[in-house]
Amino acid sequence: MGDEPYAALLPWAVFAVVDRAQSDGALWAALGALITAIALLLTSSRGEPGPRNVMVLGAIGWFGALVVAGALHRSGSGFLAHDGRALSASGFALIAFGSLAFSPAIEHYTRPHVRSSRWNDPAFHRVNVLITLIWAATFTGVAVANFVAASIGTRGAFTLFNWVVPIALTAVAAHRSRICWDDFNDDELFDPDPMRDLALDWETPPSDDLDR
């Protein structure tokens, strides 16, 4: 389960569901997200060398820090209780953006779906960067929406900016990611190595020889 692409979103989904605007809401939400992230790490079965599961490892570090912060500042008026959702979403964006300095976070999930000969292909690197950027930008938008909801503080704003807008942004990101991946797969259908056809022609005996 830990190696499935959708699994990377689960710790943040758990935080969003558990969190409430009360003294211990963010603490329990962060603890639930931390336990979820640890479970994902333990259920990761990837054995071959390659990029580590940056999103899950980052989630463990981020939500672990929020658990400590929540335990130390158990107040209904503190920054964690007020802006816990925005902080949670910001963590996803920071982890995703930060992974671009080393290996795009999404590459952990895409490698098993392409030939190993293409792992160092610039096109494969580009699609991983692009999809990672899509999700990093999406969660930046989610963090802004969560901050707006907390700032307005009404029930309508809570529903609109904590649920409707994030779900819509996530749906758009999933759609755009699928388009990028499909475009990459369409390009992969065209063999970039012209020497392959030449090799096949060389190995096939001329038709005149076969008739003799």
- 174-195 pLDDT, tens digit each: 999 999 999 998 876 544 444 3
pLDDT of residue 76: 65
pLDDT at position 105 is 93
Amino acid letter, residue 191: D
pLDDT at residue 88 greater than cutoff 90: yes
Sign, CA torsion 39/158/84/8:
positive
Which residue carries 């992969």 as its tokens?
188
DSSP-assigned letter for residue 11: H
User: CA end-to-end span of the chain, whole Å?
Assistant: 59
**Cα–Cα distance, 115 to 155 (Å, whole number):** 50
Question: Does residue 152 have a pLDDT over 50?
Answer: yes
- Predicted confidence (pLDDT) at residue 49 exceeds the cutoff of 60: no
- Burial class of residue 35 (count of CB atoms within 10 Å of its CB; 0-12, 13-18, 19+): middle
What's the mean per-residue pLDDT of the chain?
Answer: 84
Range 93-101 average pLDDT: 96
pLDDT of residue 74: 73
Nearest residue to 141 via CA among 159, 158, 174, 166:
166
Show the DSSP H helices in the chain as ranges.
10-18, 25-42, 54-72, 79-99, 107-110, 122-152, 155-159, 165-188, 195-203, 207-211
pLDDT at 47 over 70: no
* Pairwise CA distance, residues 34 & 123, whole Å: 34
pLDDT at residue 125 greater than cutoff 70: yes
pLDDT band of residue 196 (cuts 50, 70, 90) is: very low
Predicted local distance difference test score (pLDDT) of residue 195 = 39
Mean pLDDT of all residues in 72-95: 86
Domain ranges within the chain, ordered by starting residue? 5-190
Give the percent of the chain with pLDDT over 70: 81
